[in-house]
Amino acid sequence: MEKQRVCVTGAGGFLASWVVKYLLSTGYIVHGTVRDPDDEKYGHLKNLENAMGNLQLFKADLLDYNSLCASMAGCSGVLHVASPVPSGAVLDPKVELIEPALNGTCNVLKACTESKVKRVVVVSSGSAVIWNPNWPKDQPMDESCWSDKDYCRSSGNWYSLSKTEAESAAWEYAKKNGLDVVTVCPSLIFGPLLQSSMNASSSVLVKILKDEVEEMDNNDRRIVDVRDVAEAVLLAYEKPEAEGRYLCSSYCISTQELIDKLQSMYPNYNYPKKFTEGKGMLKLSCEKLQKLGWKCITLEECLADSVKCYQEMGFLD
């Protein structure tokens, strides 16, 4: 596919910032949607290599269709990364998560049709895959597995429901309107930050290192590095043979095993010492993404680069 103009929604976020960085480094002209292009918190984008002359930030809102159309004008591709993520207790899941994710995705896709975009990559989530109690326990989960919406509702898993609703709506729209859509479904994302603020997934690791959680469930955690997810998004966009969904996860490790590994690397931090019995989770198969040429860095490198970044940015005392 020609390296022309590509629009990235939510360009200032954790993953989206790395996507923008990789696009700029390989010669793309990038349109990034943000809430306020003049806000200093997006300064890291303007300082990226090749940003001068090749990056344009647009004031846009996922629920404002016209602003999305303006940001996509002249773009051959759209990478839809923006999505609401809860930072605390969800009081009204419909208003705070489900409707913004669902309506925002639909608006993006409609704007893509209006702008005659050639391909759209929607960043969904492993949360739209793994919450399926009926999946065979001896079979690794793959792209054919979908989270059960009723199960998400009954268990109060509102974030997973929002991602499942948004992705399923994306596929329904693509089928009905003939839009070339590919989705990437990453698991829990760690890795170094480009933005100045802490994000939800990185805070999980920071809380472990700072012993801010008195007791933790010893659940299996599926982890992937942010740089590997950004690479997966670009592969999904650039590879002509890319189609359908792509699971994106590198490692599965229990909470206690993760803490043991961190403790061996960084013995001077205080770590949670109490664990409740966790639920063993099914494995994920990323074979489909690997066939596109995707490779991932080691878990040790991911953790080391994450911790070094947190230390340098003052998030770890």
Q: Catalytic residues, which ones?
A: 163
Contacts (Cβ under 8 Å, ≥6 apart) of 231:
22, 294
Beta strands 55-59; 29-34: pairing state: parallel
**Which residues lie below 8 Å from residue 69, measured CB to CB, with a gap of 6+?**
111, 114, 115
Burial of residue 85, with CB atoms counted within 10 A of its CB: 0-12 exposed, 13-18 middle, 19 or more buried: middle
Residue 26, class by beta-carbon neighbours within 10 Å (0-12 exposed, 13-18 middle, 19+ buried)?
A: exposed
The β-bridge partners of 88 are none
Cα separation, 170 vs 206, whole angstroms: 33
Q: Using CA atoms, how far apart are residues 227 and 233, in angstroms rounded to an integer?
A: 10
The helix (H) or strand (E) run that includes residue 169 is helix 158-177
Measured distance CA(244)–CA(11) in Å, rounded:
23
The CA-atom distances, in angstroms, between 239 and each of 59, 160, 188, 198, 234 are 29, 28, 24, 32, 8
Closest CA to 95 of 105, 84, 107, 87: 84
Amino acid sitting at position 213: V
Helix (H) or strand (E) holding 30: strand 29-34
* C-alpha pair distances (Å), 42 with each of 16, 34, 84, 186: 12, 8, 18, 24
- The DSSP bridge pattern shows strands 29-34 and 77-80 to be unpaired
